[in-house]
Structure 1
């Protein structure tokens, strides 16, 4: 069984660039205020979601391992 992730978007810093929507079609959506939301906050580990987080110009997407809370992205320094 693979890893499970918790995906969150910090909407206080999200600028609505839609990079996440473009990189991971179906995994994120923008609301009427142009703020991103994960379609499924708890999901299987997925390269497209990681690429979306990495492409966010303000690093508003946070991915952690479900259960342990260990950071996936952004990585710990």
Structure 2
């Protein structure tokens, strides 16, 4: 699964970091995907972070 955060949508709630800190980081006031963690296994914590992101800035896609 590919994980990304749209910096244009993110407004810095840090919900993603609280839910999946091994994948998401908080940098310069916004959520980001940690380097090297863009491609990850399907994980319920990552899905929850995406579903509960108040700005809907997290995108999950099937890795090809």
| TM-score between both structures, scaled by the size of structure 1 | 0.76
Gaps spanning 5+ residues in structure 1: where? 68-77
CA radius of gyration, larger in: 1
| TM-score between both structures, scaled by the size of structure 2 | 0.91
Gaps spanning 5+ residues in structure 2: where? none
State the 1:36 CA deviation: 1.2
**How many residues end up aligned between the 2 structures?**
62
For 1:15-49, what per-residue CA distance to the aligned partner results, in whole angstroms no more than 9, with x for missing partners?
A: 110000011122100112x1211121111111100
- Larger RCO of the pair (alpha carbons < 8 Å, separation 6+): 2
Structure 2 counterparts to residues 1-77 of structure 1, below 5 A? 5-32=1-28, 34-39=29-34, 40-67=37-64
Aligned Cα RMSD in Å? 0.8
